C-alpha cells in the first residue's frame, strides 16, 4: 500500500513526478528476562490502525539481548504471515539496532547468528527499517513481555499467548519438499506453467478443476461463490490440521460431518477432507474409549406380538412381599401376550424347582403347551433344569434386555396391577 502526495496542479504542469510514500506497518517489540523466566511482547499495527498484541513465553534459557532478538524475529514472522510489504520495527535495545545497522561488531557467536537471521528475514519485505525507541515509549510491549513470563491467568482475552520451545537460530530451515506428486501438483503445473497431461481426457479434467483454484504468493487456494478463499493443504499439512482441530487445546474430539466442517471454517481444504476426517476420528483412542456410540444390541431383536391365544407367555418373580400363610413372601406371575390372562402363585422360596413345578401345573395342564416363554435373566429361568424342561416340550425360550425391565412391558404391567 502506498500513499501519493503532491502539492497541486502546478506540479503536474511542471512535469514533476509524484512522490510515492509507502504506508508501513509498525512493529513494537521488547524482551524480558527475570531470573529463570523469559518472555517477549510485541504489538503489530496495520496502516489502518488495527493492532495485534502477542505475548511469547520462552521455555529455554536466554540472555536479555537474545530475548530482544527472539521478540523481533517473532514480530517479523507475524508480519510476513499477514503479507506486510513495508515494515518499520521499533526496539529499545541499542545493541540489537546497532548490530542490524552494522555500527557494532558481533563477537558472540549466538548474537552473530541472531543478527544474521534478522537480516535474512528483512529481505522478505520490500522495505524494512529498525529504529531505537526509548524505554519510556515502549511501556506496553515491556508489560506484555513481563506478563508472558508471569501466570497465564493475568492475560486478557485480547492478548495472544504463545510458547516457544526452541531458539530461533536452532530451528532448521524447512523447505516444502513433496515426495512424489500430491493432488495439487497437476493443478499447479497448469496454473503456473500451463502444462497439461498428455492424455486428452485427463487434460480436460485438470482444466475443469483448475477453474476453482488460484495461486497467491506461491500458495494454492480454492475459491467459490459464497465462501472465502480456502488454503489447500498437502499430505503432511492435512495430518497436522486434523490433529490440531480434533484433539489439541481447543479440540472437541469431533467426528462425522462436524470435524470437516470445522476445518473448512478454519480456512483449509483438500478433496478427501470428509473421508480423511472420518478415518482419523475412528482411529482416535480417546474417542473409542469415551464417546457415546450406538452398538449392536446384546440379543437378537424379536417381535413380541402373538396372533394365537395362549401361545406366548411372559414370566417374572416379585418380592420381597409381606409374609403371608406358609411363610410365602414371593410371587411368580405369568401373563399371556394376546389375551392378557394372568396366572400367579405365592412362593416361600424362589428356586428353580419352584419355577419348574409352577409352569406345567398352571400353564401346560390348563392352557396347553405354549410356543414361547419370555423371562428375564434370573437364575430361576436360566438354570439347567428349567431350560431342559422347556426344551423337552419344544418351548422356545426368550430373554428380555438385561437391566431394562420395560422391554418385557406386559409382565411389568401385570405386576403393577396386582400389587
* CATH at residue 338: 3.30.420.10
Domain that holds residue 236: 188-290
Same domain, 272 and 324: no
Mean pLDDT of 95-116: 84
Is the pLDDT at 213 greater than 90? The verdict is yes
Number of domains in the chain: 3
Min mean pLDDT across 171-180, 183-192, 360-369 is at 171-180
Domain endpoint, select from 257, 290, 323:
290
**pTM of the complete model beyond 0.85:** no
Phi, psi of 298 (to 5 degrees): -70, -25
Predicted confidence at residue 101, as pLDDT, reads 84
Helix (H) or strand (E) holding 353, with range, is: helix 352-359
The predicted-structure confidence for 126-166, as pLDDT tens digits, reads as follows 899 988 887 666 556 566 556 545 544 444 446 777 778 88
Average pLDDT, the chain: 79
Cis peptide before 240 (omega within 30 of 0): no
Predicted confidence at residue 270, as pLDDT, reads 92
C-alpha span between 56 and 163 (Å, rounded): 6
Model confidence at 15, pLDDT cuts 50, 70, 90, reads: very low
Helix axis angle, 235-247 to 273-282, nearest 10°? 50
C-alpha span between 114 and 112 (Å, rounded): 5
The residues, ordered by sequence, that sit 6+ positions from 88 with a Cβ below 8 Å of its Cβ are 24, 25, 26, 27, 128, 129, 131
Predicted confidence at residue 134, as pLDDT, reads 77
Domain endpoint, select from 170, 200, 229:
170
The answer as to whether 146 is a domain residue is yes
The predicted-structure confidence for 30-71, as pLDDT tens digits, reads as follows 887 877 778 888 888 888 888 888 888 888 888 888 888 888
Amino acid at each position: 500500500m502506498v500513499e501519493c502526495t503532491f502539492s497541486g496542479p502546478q506540479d503536474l504542469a511542471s512535469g514533476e513526478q509524484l512522490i510515492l510514500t509507502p504506508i508501513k506497518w509498525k512493529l513494537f517489540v521488547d524482551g524480558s528476562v527475570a531470573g529463570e523466566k523469559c518472555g517477549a511482547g510485541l504489538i503489530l499495527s496495520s496502516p489502518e490502525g488495527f493492532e495485534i498484541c502477542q505475548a511469547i513465553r520462552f521455555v529455554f534459557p536466554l540472555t536479555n539481548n537474545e530475548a530482544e532478538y527472539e521478540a523481533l524475529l517473532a514480530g517479523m514472522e507475524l508480519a510476513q504471515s499477514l503479507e506486510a510489504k513495508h515494515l518499520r520495527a521499533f526496539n529499545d535495545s541499542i545493541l540489537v539496532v546497532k548490530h542490524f545497522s552494522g555500527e557494532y561488531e558481533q563477537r558472540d557467536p549466538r548474537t552473530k547468528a541472531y543478527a544474521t537471521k534478522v537480516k535474512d528475514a528483512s529481505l522478505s519485505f520490500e522495505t524494512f527499517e529498525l529504529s531505537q525507541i526509548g524505554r519510556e515509549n515502549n511501556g506496553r510491549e515491556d508489560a506484555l513481555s513481563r506478563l508472558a513470563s508471569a501466570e497465564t491467568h493475568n492475560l486478557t482475552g485480547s492478548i495472544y499467548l504463545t510458547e516457544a520451545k526452541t531458539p530461533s537460530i536452532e530451528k532448521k530451515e524447512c523447505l516444502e519438499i513433496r515426495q512424489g506428486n500430491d493432488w495439487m501438483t497437476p493443478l499447479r503445473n497448469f496454473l503456473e506453467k500451463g502444462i497439461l497431461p498428455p492424455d486428452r481426457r485427463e487434460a480436460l479434467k485438470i482444466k475443469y478443476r483448475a477453474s476453482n483454484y488460484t495461486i497467491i504468493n506461491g500458495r494454492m487456494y480454492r475459491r467459490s461463490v459464497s465462501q472465502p478463499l480456502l488454503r489447500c493443504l498437502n499430505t503432511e499439512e492435512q495430518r497436522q490440521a486434523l490433529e490440531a482441530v480434533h484433539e489439541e487445546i481447543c479440540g472437541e474430539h469431533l467426528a462425522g460431518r462436524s470435524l470437516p466442517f470445522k476445518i473448512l471454517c478454519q480456512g483449509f481444504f483438500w478433496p478427501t477432507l470428509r473421508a480423511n476426517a472420518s478415518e482419523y476420528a475412528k482411529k482416535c483412542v480417546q474417542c473409542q474409549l469415551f464417546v457415546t456410540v450406538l452398538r449392536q444390541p446384546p440379543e437378537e431383536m424379536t417381535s413380541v406380538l402373538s396372533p394365537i391365544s395362549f401361545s406366548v407367555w411372559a414370566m417374572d418373580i416379585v418380592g420381597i412381599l409381606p409374609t403371608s400363610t406358609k411363610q410365602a413372601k414371593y410371587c411368580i406371575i405369568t401373563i399371556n401376550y394376546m389375551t392378557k390372562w394372568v396366572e400367579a402363585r405365592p412362593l416361600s422360596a424362589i428356586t428353580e424347582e419352584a419355577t419348574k413345578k409352577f409352569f406345567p401345573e398352571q400353564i401346560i395342564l390348563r392352557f396347553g403347551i405354549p410356543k414361547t416363554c419370555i423371562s428375564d435373566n434370573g437364575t430361576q429361568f436360566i438354570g439347567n433344569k428349567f431350560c431342559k424342561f422347556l426344551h423337552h416340550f419344544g418351548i422356545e425360550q426368550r430373554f428380555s434386555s438385561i437391566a431394562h425391565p420395560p422391554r418385557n412391558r406386559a409382565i411389568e404391567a401385570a405386576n403393577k396391577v396386582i400389587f
